[in-house]
Amino acid sequence: MKQNIHPDYHTITVQMTDGTTYQTRSTWGKEGDTLLLEIDPTTHPAWTGGNSKMLDTGGRVARFNKRFGGLSLGKK
């Protein structure tokens, strides 16, 4: 492995939005720094399942069916 080309890998503290903390190793910051998270798995909708909404809130499917619902692709 080449010398003097890799960033310093050290221990930092990560603080979640609810105040809980844990120790990990990272190249972020300096030894002993605290990384304060603004979004984490306890609050983000991607992990909590919240903030889900229907994609068809404007009625696009209904509008499409109204315009093209009478068309048939099959043989008569």
**Residue 59 structure tokens:** 């009625």
Mean pLDDT of 2-26: 93
Residue count of the chain, please give it: 76
DSSP strand pairing (34-36 vs 10-15):
parallel
CB proximity list for 8: less than 8 A, separation 6 or greater: 27, 31
pLDDT of 27-57, one tens digit each? 999 999 999 998 888 887 777 776 555 555 5
CA-CA distance, 22 to 31, in Å (whole number)?
Answer: 14
Using DSSP's 3-state secondary structure scheme, residue 68 falls into helix
Name the pTM for this structure.
Answer: 0.56
